[in-house]
Amino acid sequence: GDSVTQTEGQVALSEEDFLTIHCNYSASGYPTLFWYVQYPGEGPQLLFRASRDKEKGSSRGFEATYDKGTTSFHLRKASVQESDSAVYYCALSEWGNNKLTFGQGTVLSVIP
């Protein structure tokens, strides 16, 4: 079945540091890839998505590029802020299928 792997369980950074969270996927078809963010006390919310090879998704300074060759969708941000502290989930959905398959989540803590 489909699966999503996030390498980092927890990331601690200082403000203005560069962020990378690695996401690799396994799917039988050609999935749409998502990044969701969950702030404390809230449900996950969509950060952005991409559905084609080499497509870049972006929002609020975060970005990721769909790479079919390496089956990856790594999240990056050039300069993190304390307000970016949250849990980040990579996810995928296959065509003809309403279900999202999530990675394990990465807890980002940004120290001012």
Partner 1 sequence: GGIITQTPKFLIGQEGQKLTLKCQQNFNHDTMYWYRQDSGKGLRLIYYSITENDLQKGDLSEGYDASREKKSSFSLTVTSAQKNEMAVFLCASSLTGGAYTEVFFGKGTRLTVV
> Which residue lies nearer to partner 1 by CB, 1 or 69?
1
d(CA 52, CA 14): 33
Binding window for partner 1 (CB under 8 A); candidates: 14-22, 57-65, 72-80, 92-100: 92-100
Distance of CA 33 to the CA centre of its chain: 8
d(CA 82, CA 50): 26
> Which residue lies nearer to partner 1 by CB, 41 or 112?
41
Determine if 57 is a binding residue for partner 1 (CB under 8 A).
no
Q: How far is the CB of 46 from partner 1 (least distance, A)?
A: 5
d(CA 29, CA 74): 19
Place of tokens 């970005």: 63
Contact positions toward partner 1, by CB under 8 A?
Answer: 1, 4, 6, 9, 31-32, 41-46, 49, 51, 89, 93-105
